[in-house]
Structure 1
Amino acid sequence: TPLHIAAIKGKKEIAELLLSHGANVNAFDSLNRTPLHNAAIKGKKEIAELLLSHGANINQFDPSKSTPLHIAAIKGKKRLLNCFYHIGQMSTHLIL
């Protein structure tokens, strides 16, 4: 979806516009990932914060059973992990 692309590219203004016009923050792309998964893959902290503030599900699994939190940890995205922690969205149990 356009929101997935905005998340990958780190285009916060476009993501804000899409969300303000009703874009589904938890929509799946062709790889069954959400925009938050894509933000985690690319380490886009500001996009992740925006998506979370609009109700993105940090506990959503992709086909490989990874959540955005798992992806951020595996890829060593420390700023993003810190963001997830401070927002209080971290799951207390991880499936690794």
Structure 2
Amino acid sequence: MSANFSCLVRFKDPGGQIHYGDVANTIDLVGQTATILEGDDPWNLKPGSQKAQIAEVLCPLESVPLIYGIGLNYKKHIEESSFPSDILKTST
């Protein structure tokens, strides 16, 4: 899989439309002109020929799924969680 951009940015143009774009300079993005990438799936964008000015920089992903992490990875964490002491036994 190869990227069709060098530096991905998701942004609003001065008219309020949201785009994915490619920029050359990542410093002071607001006010820069970006090449608009075609598509609305960040994993499947195509190079475009239109350009737009960046009025507001947005999060690169429109939505991010919630990820729940549950685990007792460290002995100290197990002790803090008040689990039975036999769970602390490790095999040697």
TM-score tier, shorter chain, comes to under 0.3
Higher strand share goes to which structure? 2
Higher helix share goes to which structure? 1
Asked which structure has the greater CA Rg, the reply is 2
TM-score, normalized by length of structure 1? 0.21
TM-score, normalized by length of structure 2? 0.21
